[in-house]
Structure formats: structure tokens, C-alpha cells
Structure 1
Amino acid sequence: MTVTHDERVVREFSKQAAGFADPRLNAAFTRHLDRLVRFMDPELDLEDVVLEVAAGTGIVSRAIAARVRHVTALDLTPAMLAEGKRDADQAGLTNITFTEGDASALPYVDRSFTLVVTRFSLHQVADPETVVREMVRVSRPGAALVIADLIRPDDLVGDPDRIERLRDPSHGTALTESRITGLVAAAGAEVKRAERFDYVRPLDPWLEFSQTPEDVAAQIRQELEDELAGGPPTGMRPSVKDGVLHFTHSYLFQQAIAE
């Protein structure tokens, strides 16, 4: 039986859901959350009605809930939403709605939200163009759209998506910044500002987080070690710090305004 991309996403993220609350495994999400909230700060308003698209456990929704009127955290994976709702309830956050839904077919009428955000999703979805178009569709004129994502540097050598898919079969394609900017413009929004940075992260917690099978994890380790020894580039930009194998991700925070 053929497995669809959405089914693959639900399967993989159902396995990973509990790990989103573990800072040892989930450093990329938790480490840069404050940075993203600071980036979003000029857009946050106590009257905002916010949508977080492909929200996972609603990490961003929970971080900004006290700063806005209401947040809807929408995701495809019920296990992720359940994890986020439990944490929101424990924190006493009453202005977040957790909703199961498809980012490529948002269940909302046009011009419903004053702020729309998505984090680490465009590289995961099957059709990022449609997701961005849907985000703009449900945004009111003048609303801010914030995209935070893994990106592929323009000059990168190697194929990081191949390694990413070995680690997590639900991985799609890491886009370049120019590609994301083009999607936003084509959907009817104008990019106003952006922030870019690299994050060098240890390999083993990343593999443990996704519960990558040990034989596959060993293959990934070997390919990164081979690259360091002069072998073919993987696109993962490996390095060794204090005797520990690392790799490098590039991230983009981008803010646009809906027309």
C-alpha cells in the first residue's frame, strides 16, 4: 500500500511528539524560541488573533499567548496537539485552541487572522507553495506573516535533503531564502525583514529525537565522518567539537505583510 506524504508526517511526528518537551533532544526548537519571539515582538499586539500553521505542540503559540488575544495552533498530527494541550493546561493558558487540520487547506474563511506564523514546516510539507498561499489567504490586509524555517544556503555543496530523509522519512525539501521569498510574493505578501543564522548542533541527540533506526544512524555518522576525512560532501557541513561529531543547519526568520 502506498503511503502518502501526510501519512508519513503523522507517523514520524507521532513518534517524536514526546521528545518536543525534552530540551536535551529538542535544543533546536527550544534554544531559538526566545530569539523567534524577539523577532516577532514588533508584530505582537494584545488585540491580535493569531494562527500558528503546522504548529506541532504549539511551542510558539504557548510562548506568545500572554501577549495576544487568542492563538489557534493547527497541526496534522493529533499526538503533537495532545502534547501541546497538556503543557498549555499545566501552564494555565486559556486562550489557545488546538486544532487538527491540514496546512495546505486551512479550515478558515479568508481574512480571519491578524498574525499568521509557521515554524520549521515548509521544509517538511509536500507543497510549500500551497501552504504559503493559504497563510496569506487567511490573513487580514496588513497582517504580519512570520516564517521560521530550515533553509539551504545558495552555495551549499552536497545533498542535505538525502541525509535528512534518511534520518526522518517525512522530511521534504529545504528551500533557499530566495525561494521562500518568491513563494511569499507570489501569494500576495511583501517581505519586510529577515534574520539568518547558522546553528552547529551535535549529531547524536538529533538522531535520537527522530528515533532513527541504529543501522541508518550508523550510516549517517559514517558519511559525515567520511566527509571530514576528505570524502564526498553531504551538505550537512560536519565538524568535531570536543571530540563530538556535529553538523550545521541554516535557519531563516522572515516577516512579511499581507496585502
Structure 2
Amino acid sequence: MPHPAPAVQETGGTIAPHLRRLLEFVEPHTGDVCLDVARGRGPMPAALGPHVRHVTAVDATPVAAPSARARTGRMETVEFGTGPVRITGETRGPDGARHGHDGGAARPRPPSAMTREDPRPGAARPAPRVPIKADATALPYRDNTFSLVTARFSLYNLGDPGDVLRELLRVCRPGGRVIVADLVRGNLAGPERDRIERLRDPDHPGTPSIARLTEMITSVGGSIRRLDVFTVERPVEPWLAGARDGAAADRIRAAMLDEVDGGPRTGAKPRVIGGELWFTQSWAHVAAEPI
């Protein structure tokens, strides 16, 4: 049975392998003034805090959106929980050239370089950051304010994604970085996958192709610098815990098991590992800068 990559100890807590990979892709440095735009309280401000000069966290949950608690009984704050994950993939430069994740365009740092915690007993840790409520399509900041702007698994849930991207680029300084992390599908992938995503969550906006995501960024004034596109294999049950209702979860589970037995494709590439049902997602990290 494959084993998930271990979580890595970081600044007094643990950081999941997929978040650590994103942090390495971001390449934060001590001079960075950062803005993280999320739906709810995301993990990026805490992950970035020890490595940068300052982090501003924005909770851009649309005011008009119905409360997740009212619809489902779940907390409104979004936690992109994954359970254990197995990650494979590659990094691509802006020209589409492929690079291994441990070299080439992404230039990830070793774990020791990513840790800046003061080792002295009783050393102060970064204070929790309370997100500022704001509209992601009209951020309350001047042009060119931040050297690093991040949006993780939230771009399609904060308003029109083109308007959101335009704002992320507007508040980023020339030569700065806008980092978008989101789910994607292969450019040739069919619509099957979005069908099960919408069964799990009827409000799901659809999964963009890699080409569509990069197209949107360039169309609103961004220049793509790096891409990291990779596959994540996850257990089904933690993902189904976020389903709108139990009946929907049962239908998805049955469809995946049917595919394992040779039935119709769901687009999720399910398989049974050690008696547990797993499925796959494609994730992308995109680094852009304003033109």
C-alpha cells in the first residue's frame, strides 16, 4: 500500500506536504509584503508569516452567498482538508517546458531554508492573523501595494474570476508575484469530472482547464512566469465529508466503485488501496506578474 508523504514540522506546528510544496513554489523572502485572498480563514497567512516581512489576510467570502452552515450544517469557514495525499507531478516553465519538481523552474528550497523559527525556549511565535473582510473584486488597497499576492483554492468562489484576477494583479507591485493555486483539469479532459463535483456540491463552478486558467491571467494583464501542474491522489471519504447530503455522497461512492469494477468513467480515476477507495485530482500552481 502506498504511504502518504509525512507532514513536515514548521514553526511550532505541522505543514501538510501539499501546502509545503506550494510554499516552496511561492519562494517567500524576508522582504516580502504579502496579501492572501481567501474564502474564509485559509492556511497561507500562517504558513507565510515566518518567512516574510508582513502578511495581510483577506476573507473575501461573498456577502450574498448563502451560509454554508444554514445549507449543510457545516462551518462557514473554509478549510481545504485533504486527509493523506500522495503527490506526483512536474513543473513547467512559461514556455511549457517540463521540469522536475526538485529542480528547474520551481527552484524549491530545502526544508532547513524554509524554517526561521527562533529556537530559543520561550521565543515568541507569530500572532494569529484575523482576516479583513473585503470584496475580492474591489480590494481596498492602492495599486502596487504588495510584492506577493496569493489566492489558494478560492479563485472561482470569490466573484467573477476575471475580475478577481484583475484585482490581484492591480495590487501587486511591478516585478512582484501573484500566485494562484487551484484545481484544474487536463486540456483534453472530458466533462465527467465536473458532474461528480456538482453532485457533491451543486454550487461548484466547474473545473477550468490549465489552458483556460493561464488564458484568464494573461487576458487581464498578467505574464505567466512558472507553472507547477501535478496529480494528487486522495482518499474519497474525507472529500465526501463535504458533500451537500448523504445521498449525494452515496451516489458518488457507488459510481466510483462501479468504475473500479469496469463501469462508466467518472473522471476521478478511482482505485482501491489497502481496502480504501482513493481518487485523483489535478492541481496547479501558477506564478504570474503584472505587465
TM-score range, shorter chain: 0.7 to 0.9
Q: What is the one-letter code of the residue matched to 1:206? A: W
How much has 1:232 moved relative to structure 2? Answer: 2.5
TM-score (norm 2): 0.69
How much has 1:61 moved relative to structure 2? Answer: 1.1
2:280 paired with 1:255: no
How much has 1:94 moved relative to structure 2? Answer: 3.6
Alignment partner, residue 251 of structure 2: 219
Q: Is the 8 A contact 2:39 2:157 kept in 1?
A: no
For structure 2, the residue ranges without an aligned partner over 5 or more in a row are: 1-6, 8-14, 64-75, 79-123
Q: What is the one-letter code of the residue matched to 1:80? A: T
Greater CA deviation, 118-127 or 142-151? Answer: 118-127
**RMSD (Å), alpha carbons:** 2.3
Alignment partner, residue 5 of structure 1: none
Aligned pair count? 220
* Aligned partner (choices 197, 201, 215) of residue 168 of structure 1: 201
For residues 216-249 of structure 1, what are the alpha-carbon distances to aligned partners after superposition, in whole Å with 9 as ceiling and x for unaligned?
1101111112222333222222111112111110
* Aligned partner (choices 260, 282, 287) of residue 228 of structure 1: 260
- CA distance in 2 between partners of 1:48 and 1:225 (Å): 47
* Aligned partner (choices 51, 55, 69) of residue 35 of structure 2: 51
Q: Is the 8 A contact 2:36 2:149 kept in 1?
A: yes
Q: Secondary structure at the match of 2:203?
A: coil
More helix by share: 1
Q: What is the one-letter code of the residue matched to 2:166? A: R
How much has 1:65 moved relative to structure 2? Answer: 0.6
Q: What is the one-letter code of the residue matched to 1:148? A: A
Spell out the pairing of 1:105-116 with structure 2 (5 A cutoff): 105-116=138-149
How much has 1:252 moved relative to structure 2? Answer: 0.6
For structure 1, the residue ranges without an aligned partner over 5 or more in a row are: 1-22, 24-28, 82-90
Describe the shift of the 1:170–1:76 C-alpha distance in structure 2 as closer, same or farther (beyond 3 A): farther
- CA distance in 2 between partners of 1:211 and 1:168 (Å): 6
Segments of 4+ in structure 1 off by > 4 A? none
For residues 107-148 of structure 1, what are the alpha-carbon distances to aligned partners after superposition, in whole Å with 9 as ceiling and x for unaligned?
222222111011112343442111111111111111111111
Describe the shift of the 1:213–1:247 C-alpha distance in structure 2 as closer, same or farther (beyond 3 A): same
Alignment partner, residue 147 of structure 1: 180
Task: Report percent identity of matched pairs.
Answer: 40
Q: Secondary structure at the match of 1:33?
A: helix
TM-score (norm 1): 0.77
Spell out the pairing of 1:8-157 with structure 2 (5 A cutoff): 30-41=16-27, 44-54=28-38, 56-77=40-61, 80=77, 92-94=125-127, 96=129, 98-157=131-190
